[in-house]
Structure 1
Amino acid sequence: MKLAFWKKKKDPNKPKKPIWREWLDAAVFAIVAATIIRMFFIEAYTIPTGSMEGTLKVNDYLFVSKMAYGARLPNTPLSVPLVHNTMPIFGGKSYSEAVKWGYHRLPGFGKVKRNDIVVFNFPNNDTVVLEDPAQDYYQYVRVQGREQVWNTKTIITRPVDKKENYIKRCVGIPGDKVEIKEGVLYINDKIADLHPHQRIDYLVGGTAQLSADFMEENFIVFKGYTQNKEAVYDMEYSAVDKVKKVAGVTDVKPFSLIPAGNPGPVDYWTFPFDTANFKWNQDNYGSMIVPAKGTTVQLNPQNIALYRRIIRVYENNPGFVEKDNQFFMDGKAITAYTFKMDYYWMMGDNRHGSADSRFWGFVPEDHIVGKASFVWLSYGNGDGNVYNSKGMRWGRIFRTVGNLEN
C-alpha cells in the first residue's frame, strides 16, 4: 500500500510578499525566539566591576543559565523585548507596571549551592538614584542624608525583576552560620573554602620587598605600609605560598582594614547598620544565621535590624510596625516571625573591592536570576585596572566558570 504525502499547492494568483515584509517577519521571529531563550534558558551578562577578581575579570562576557535553578517568570510581563530596565539611546523605563505578576519559578536542575557563582537582582535596588542606578540608594542616604539626596537626585522605584543585575559567589545558603574573623570567612564555624583566585589584602612580614616582575607575574599589587612599617599587598590566595618562599619573608596573613569591634566611618558601615547592637565591619563580621524558609525567629529590639527589611519589604508585610520596643503585624502584637522564603549570603571574591551582602544583607530567593555558566568573550579594557591585561584574553574564551575558578 502506497502512502500519499499531500503537499499544499502554491496559489499562482496569490501576490508575493514584498521584501520588506519578509524581513519584518524574520525580525519578529528572531525577537520572539531570542526573548524566549533569554527568559527561560540562557542570558548574556558582562562583568562590569572588579568585585569577582580574579575569578571573573572586568569585560568577561558570559552566559548565565536560567535552567540551573529554574527560570523565573517575569514580575512585569509588559516590557520591551531584550531590554532590561532602561530604553537604549532615549532612556526611560523599558517596562510598564500596569500588569504585575507574583513570584513564580519553573522547575530547574537544582537549588543554589554553596560556592555557586550566581547572578541576582540587587536587593537594595528597589529605590534608585537615577544618576547612578547601579549603586545603593540607601548608602547615598546614610552618607549624604535623605533630604540632600532627594533635593539633588532623581529618585525612582523598580520591581524585583527590573532591579540591576549583580554577580557574586554564594558563600552562605539558608540555615548557614556566617562569620568573618580578621578577614577570614567561616561557615558553620569552619573556615570557608578558599578559591585560588580569591583576592584580599595580606600583611607580609619580614624585610623582603617583592619585585615588580614577581608582582606582575602573580597579579600582586602593593598597597602601602602599616604604622608598624609592615608591607600590605593585595593578592590572590594562590599567590600566598609563592610569597612565603621569597627570601626575607617571615609571615603572610590576611590584613584587616578596620579592627574588630569598630564599625568604622559611616561610609564603611555594614549591614544591618545598627552600630549600637552590631559593631561589625567587613573584616570582622557576625556571627549570624542566614534565614531559611519555614524557620521562626524571636524578635527583639536588639536583633530587629537584621530582619526588618525581610519582613516589611521582601516578604511584603506593609502592616509590620514597631512601637515602644514592641512589634505589630496588622495591628496584632507579635514576638516572632516565620520566614516565607529562603535567603542567601553573597560575597565577591575580591573581598576588599566588593559591595556585597556585608553591605546590604540577605538575597531573597525571588531575586535569583541564574548561575554563571561559561565565558564566550574576554578582553582587557586598558583602563589602568591592575588586574586586567589589554587586548583579547584568549585563554579565557569558551571556558566554563568552573574551569576559570581553578
Structure 2
Amino acid sequence: MKFAFLLGNFALILFVLTVGTGIVWCLDKFVFSRQRRAAADQALADFDARVAKLTADGVKMEQGKRAEIEANLLRQPTWIEYSGSFFPVIAMVFFLRSFLFEPFKIPSGSMMPTLLIGDLILVNKFTYGIRLPVINKKVIDLNQPQRGDVMVFKYPLDPTVDYIKRVVGIPGDKVEYKNKRLSINGKPLQYEQLPDFLDEISYSKQFTENLTGVSHRILNDETRPAFVNDPLNFPYRQNCSYDSEGFTCVVPEGHYFMMGDNRDNSADGRIWGFVPDQNIVGKAFFVWMNFGDVKRIGSFH
C-alpha cells in the first residue's frame, strides 16, 4: 500500500528546511544582531553628540527621534525575520515526526477491515528503537516487532515509498498460508467467522484471526484463488516455496514477513518478499481522523 508522499522524500525536505532556517537563526542571534546593536550604539552616540551640541547652541531636537533611530537600526531584515520565526515551528515538527509520531493517510483497501481508505493514522516512531531521520539508521535499540503488529515500513523494492501491513512472521518463523489459512511454526491459527463485510458494492467473507495472541479481523474473497500469482525474485527467495494451495516461507534473520488484512486484495510479502529491519518506520496504533466517518477515530489492533 502506498502512502501519499510529498515530492518523494518529505523527511529530507523537512531536514533541509530545519537546517537552513536554523543556520539563519543562529547567525542572526550570534552575529547579525550584534552587528546591528553595534551600529545602533554608534549611531546613538553620534546622535547624542549632535543633540548636546545643538542644545548648547539653543536648538531643541524633536522628542522620540532617538528611539526611532534605534528601532530602525535594530530591525531585522525581512528574510531573517521570516526565517527566524519559522525555525522553531519547523524544528518542532521535524523532531516530532522524526522521533515520536508521524502521520500517514491510508489510500487503498489492502488493510481492510482494520484500516479503511481515508483513515488518517499516527505511527509511533520510537517503539522499535530510535532511528536517525532521513537515513533511517537505528542508533538505540528498544523493542522488536511482534506478530500481529501493524507496521509502516519502506517498501523493499522502492525505499522512497512507505507501505503498511501486519507482521505475521518474525525472524526464524516458518510461515505457511494454505487454502487461505495461516500456520506459524507448524501451528494453525484460530479463526472465527463473522458477518460478511460490505465494501461499497461487494461483500467479502470476514473472520477474526488469532495471530499468536493478537486477535484481529481479516477479509477473504471467495472468487480469488489461494495460490500466489507471479511472485517476484526477491532476496532470500530460496526460503519460500509456492504451490496451488498457497506458500511456505522461512523468515531470515533481521527480516519480517508482512501481509495485508484484506488477504485477497493485498500486494504484500507473498509477492515481493521480506522486509529488512533497516526499512522499519514504526508501529501504527491510532486513527486520529477520517473526514468521511469521524466515528473511525480511535486505537486499533
The superposition leaves residues 240-272 of structure 1 with CA deviations (integer Å, 9 ceiling, x where unpaired) of xxxxxxxxxxxxx98473366xx6xxxx21244
Matched, 1:396 2:282: no
Matched, 1:124 2:157: yes
The gaps in structure 1 that reach 5 residues or longer are: 1-9, 77-102, 126-159, 198-213, 224-232, 239-252, 293-341, 380-390
Structure 2 counterpart SS, 1:51: coil
Structure 2: distance between partners of 1:62 and 1:38: 13
Matched, 1:236 2:211: no
Matched, 1:171 2:230: no
Matched, 1:104 2:137: yes
Structure 2: distance between partners of 1:104 and 1:168: 21
Distance 1:173 1:21, change over 3 A: same
Amino acid at match of 2:122: F
What is the match of residue 45 of structure 1? Answer: 104
The superposition leaves residues 149-179 of structure 1 with CA deviations (integer Å, 9 ceiling, x where unpaired) of xxxxxxxxxxx4xx20000000000011101
Deviation at 1:222, TM superposition (A): 8.0
Amino acid at match of 2:286: F
Distance 1:254 1:58, change over 3 A: closer
What is the match of residue 246 of structure 2? Answer: 284
Structure 2 counterpart SS, 1:237: strand
Distance 1:26 1:196, change over 3 A: farther
Matched, 1:58 2:117: yes
The superposition leaves residues 30-66 of structure 1 with CA deviations (integer Å, 9 ceiling, x where unpaired) of 1122112211111111111100001001110011111
Q: Is the 8 A contact 1:374 1:401 kept in 2?
A: yes
What is the match of residue 278 of structure 2? Answer: 366
Structure 1: distance between partners of 2:147 and 2:226: 28
What is the match of residue 258 of structure 2? Answer: 346
Amino acid at match of 1:117: V
TM-score (ref. length: structure 2): 0.63
RMSD of the TM alignment (CA)?
3.3
Structure 1: distance between partners of 2:144 and 2:258: 15
Amino acid at match of 2:250: I
The superposition leaves residues 256-293 of structure 1 with CA deviations (integer Å, 9 ceiling, x where unpaired) of 73366xx6xxxx21244889x94436x6111x21012x
Amino acid at match of 1:368: I
Where is the helix percentage greater, Structure 1 or Structure 2? 2
Residue identity over aligned pairs, in percent, reads 35
Amino acid at match of 1:400: S
Distance 1:254 1:167, change over 3 A: closer
Q: Is the 8 A contact 2:98 2:125 kept in 1?
A: yes
Q: Is the 8 A contact 2:205 2:222 kept in 1?
A: no
For 1:302-321, what aligned pairs fall within 5 Å after superposition? none
Q: Is the 8 A contact 2:204 2:221 kept in 1?
A: no
What is the match of residue 258 of structure 1? Answer: 225
What is the match of residue 148 of structure 2? Answer: 115
Amino acid at match of 1:401: F
Larger Rg: 2
* Pairs aligned (count): 219
Structure 2: distance between partners of 1:400 and 1:67: 17
TM-score (ref. length: structure 1): 0.48
Structure 1: distance between partners of 2:243 and 2:233: 9
Distance 1:193 1:254, change over 3 A: farther
Structure 1: distance between partners of 2:199 and 2:177: 23
Deviation at 1:194, TM superposition (A): 5.0
The superposition leaves residues 334-370 of structure 1 with CA deviations (integer Å, 9 ceiling, x where unpaired) of xxxxxxxx10000000001100000100100000010
Q: Is the 8 A contact 1:183 1:255 kept in 2?
A: no
Q: Is the 8 A contact 1:119 1:168 kept in 2?
A: yes
Q: Is the 8 A contact 2:175 2:250 kept in 1?
A: yes
Q: More deviation in 65-74 or 344-353?
A: 65-74
Deviation at 1:23, TM superposition (A): 3.6
Distance 1:75 1:39, change over 3 A: closer
Q: Is the 8 A contact 2:131 2:140 kept in 1?
A: no
Matched, 1:185 2:218: no
What is the match of residue 29 of structure 1? Answer: 88
For 1:195-214, what aligned pairs fall within 5 Å after superposition? none
The superposition leaves residues 345-398 of structure 1 with CA deviations (integer Å, 9 ceiling, x where unpaired) of 00000001100000100100000010002111113xxxxxxxxxxx3x12222x
